[in-house]
Chains A and B, each alone.
Chain A
C-alpha cells in the first residue's frame, strides 16, 4: 500500500517500514522550537521531573531551538522577566541554538529556522506555535504543539501518541496572473476548505504552480494551512528546495527528497487553477471569510501592515516597494512594515527598499511578530480597520475586539496604501 509524504516521514521517524492513517506512533523529533512561550515550557518541564529524584535535563540540547520574536524588544516587565528566565535556562542546559533579540541573528521563528539551515526535507519538526506548519515548505513534517507537549518532547525526544493523519492532496495548476501571488492562492483555498475543513489532516501540495514558486511563496502557503485546521502543509522537496538549502540556508547535501508513492491514498483531492484567480481578501472576523477583491474594493482602511511570518520575506517587501515607488501613502493611513528577520531587514536596507518605503511614508518596525498578535507595535483603536498581510483576523487579534482586520497579499496591501481603501493591485500602475 502506497504512502503519502507524511506517512513516509512518520514511518521513518518511528522505526517502522510503513504506517497507516490512524496508527498511533511516537516519532523521534529532529527540531523542537519555542519562542517566548518557552517560559511556560520550562515550568512544565520542571514539573515532569518533580519528585523523580532526577535533575531536569533536556534530551538533546542541540535539537532545541529557541527564538525570541513575539514581544521584541520586551513590551513589559513581565515579558522581560520571562525572557530572562529563558536565557538562564538556555545557559544552564547548554542549548546552543538560541536566537536572542539581536540584529545579527534574530527574527521571527518561522523565518529564522529555515534561513539558518535548521530544517531539512524528511525531518520531524515541532514548535510551540501554530504556524510551525510553515516548515512543510521544505518537505519536513512540521506541526504546532502546546507547551506541555513540548515539555514531554524536551524530556523524551519523541512526540507521544501521534495519530498518523490523513492527507488532502491539493494540485495547483496554471500560471499566477500579474498581481496574484501565493497569499491569494492560500486565502482562496482556506475559503474553499473552510476553517475546519482540514482538521486533523495534512495538506500535500503538488502541481506546476507550486513547483514554479520560490521557497518564500511556499512558506507563505504552508504557514496558513493551519487556518483550515490542518496539522501541517507540505511541499515535497524538489530542485528549488535544494537550491534554497544550499544558497540561502548554507547547507550542503545530499538531501533526502521524500516523495509520495504513486499509489498513495488520499482523504480528499482538490484541484485549483491559479490562472483564473483574482487577488483575494479574508474579511473580518474569520480567516475563511474570503472574497475576491472586487467584492471588497473601496473599503476604507486606517492601518496597513506588511510583514509577519506569512509575508515579511524579501520578495514581499520588494513587491510593496515596487508598487509604492514614487508614490505616497494616502493621508490618514499609517503603514507598518516589519521584515520577518534581521537578515531580510539588512538586505532590504542595502538594496534601498526600506528607504523607498520610508520615503512613501511607511514606518519600519524591527523584525518580530509586531502587531500581529495584538501585544504591541501597532494595536488598533476602537472602530478602526486594518488591512494586513499577516495570517489571522480573529476578533481582537490586533489588540482590540472593537476593530476589524482584513487579510491580503503584499501587493494588495501596497496598492491599498496609496488610495487608503482596499484596492486591486492590478489597477495601480
Chain B
C-alpha cells in the first residue's frame, strides 16, 4: 500500500518540479533538497526525509513538460517517490525510466492526498475510495531499459558486448 503525499494538476512543468535556479546542482544525492522548491510543504517533507519510500505523487496530464533537465527525475528518485499521472511529457518519462524513477501512466486516476493506493502492473486501486483504474503499459521500447534497472546498466551491457 502506498500513500498519496502530494497531489498536483495538469501541465506540471520541470520548472515546478525542479526550478531552473537550482540547475547547477547535478548530484542525485543533492537534487532532492530542491524538489518542488516553490511548494514549501512538500519540499520540506522531501528535504527532511519525512516521506516513506514508495509514497505517491498523483498528477494530471502532461506531467514533466518543459526542460530536459534530468534533475526533475533524480530529485524524486532520491526519496523513492512514485509518480502516478494521467499522462507524462516525453522527455521526462524517458529520463524517469533511464534513472529508475517509477512512473505509472494511469489516464483516469482519481485520488486525494492521504489516500492509500495499491499499484499493480495493470491497474491502480484507490483503497480509500474503493475504485480501480487501468494502467497504460510503458512504451514497448522502454520496458527493456526498466528491466535492466535503468539506462546505465543497460548501456554498460551493450558496451561490454561491443568488440
Residues of A with Cβ closer than 8 Å to B? 24, 36-37, 39-40, 43-44, 47-50, 52, 54, 70-71, 76, 78-79, 82, 128-130, 132, 144-149, 151-152, 155-156, 160-163, 195-196, 199-200, 229, 231, 286, 288, 373-375, 379, 392, 394-397, 399, 401
Contact = CB atoms under 8 A, between A and B. Distances in A.
A199 B62 contact: yes
B68 A44 contact: no
B23 A373 contact: yes
A268 B16 CA distance: 31
Given A43-B26, A146-B95, A401-B38, A394 B15 contact: yes
Contacts of B121: none
Contact of A52 (B11, B98, B142, B156): B156
A48 B152 contact: yes
A148 B144 CA distance: 16
B65 interface: yes
Nearest to B61: A196
A147 B151 CA distance: 11
Nearest to A371: B20
B69 A397 contact: no
Interface size class of B (residues with CB under 8 A): 35 or more
Given A146-B94, A375-B21, A395 B16 contact: yes
B62 A52 contact: no
Given A48-B155, A49-B159, A374-B15, A395 B89 contact: no
**Which of B66, B87, B99 gathers most chain A CB within 10 Å?**
B66
Nearest to B156: A48
B91 interface: yes
29 contacts: A36-B23, A36-B24, A37-B69, A43-B26, A47-B152, A49-B156, A52-B156, A52-B159, A52-B160, A129-B68, A144-B68, A144-B91, A146-B98, A147-B26, A147-B70, A148-B70, A148-B151, A148-B152, A149-B95, A155-B155, A195-B65, A196-B11, A196-B61, A229-B90, A231-B90, A373-B20, A374-B20, A394-B66, A397-B15
B50 interface: no
Contacts of A231: 90
Contacts of B62: 195-196, 199, 229
A373 B24 CA distance: 12
A145 B139 contact: no
Contacts of B87: 196, 199
A71 to B, nearest CB: 7
A132 B91 CA distance: 12
Which of A37, A52, A70, A151 neighbours the largest number of chain B CB atoms within 10 Å of its CB?
A37
